[in-house]
Amino acid sequence: MKMLRLLLLASLSGLRLLAEPSADFHGPMGLQLWSLNTEFGKGVPDTLDRVKAWGFAEVETAGTGSLPVAQFRAELDKRGLSAVAAHVQYEALSADVAAVIREVQALGAPVAFCAWIPHSGPFTPELATEVAARFNKWGAAFRAAGLRLGYHTHGYEFVPSATAGLTLFDDFVGALDPESIVLEMDVFWVVHAGQDPVVLLNRYPTRWVALHVKDIRKGAPTGLTTGGAPATDKVAVGAGAIDWPAVLGTAQRLGVRSYFIEDESPEPVANIPRSLGYLQHLSMQD
């Protein structure tokens, strides 16, 4: 009943929902700004005002909207928002890794994640090997600059490996230099691909540093390695099929530092406060 009253007040009066975790969850809870990509197209300052009003202090960037990097950073600073991570493009890393490093430094982010490896057709062992070598080279450059580079799961990596019981994601991670490359789990894409996020967290207990907290619609098809899904299969956290007490409890025990709500549903502005409301009252388990 208390949660219902909170959400009702938020919808009626724009109540500021604090992005602070519950007593059981140490967080902190951040926001992946791609969630508001459409809103950024209407205006960066107003959109960042909304992020601040929801109570977020930490964000993960995915581009800088219509603003140059320095100006975007200034707008974050004005609102007390800290870019603790950034998403960067594979093509940009391939073209000029030094330029990507400078951009991440300008944002003040200590870590950057690449969330998509360009490919046509199924992900292959040959591509996994080739890309791992590139990531290791780029990761060494990031580490020399005092930063970390990471890979963000997107679902297409979970095709079966030649090793029974494993996938190409496991082969890929096995080829990555653990001193240079960290991992970010998008829980939606892991479940969409038919994988168990708790099992994966425990399989690589020292590699995960961040999670995308994103739920999947109950009854949505899983076991797919397409890396794509309808927006309607993405729902507010707590409204879907994912066992968040188990996932977040495991991540917290393993020392995962950063957690970002990412909302790619048709109604992110409405769903982000709903997700916060759920997470603020979540009892953890492990």
Residues 28-280, CATH architecture: Alpha-Beta Barrel (3.20)
Alpha carbons 202 and 256: distance in angstroms, whole number: 11
Beta strands at 181-186 and 111-114: parallel, antiparallel or unpaired: unpaired
pTM: 0.91
Give the C-alpha separation, 33 to 26, whole Å. 21
pLDDT in tens, 214-235: 999 999 999 999 999 999 999 9
Q: Label residue 8 by pLDDT band (50, 70, 90).
A: very low
The secondary structure of residue 167, as a DSSP letter, is B
Mean pLDDT of 8-18: 38
Closest by CA to 123, choosing from 86, 95, 153, 150, is 153
pLDDT in tens, 123-169: 999 999 999 999 999 999 999 999 999 999 999 999 999 999 999 99
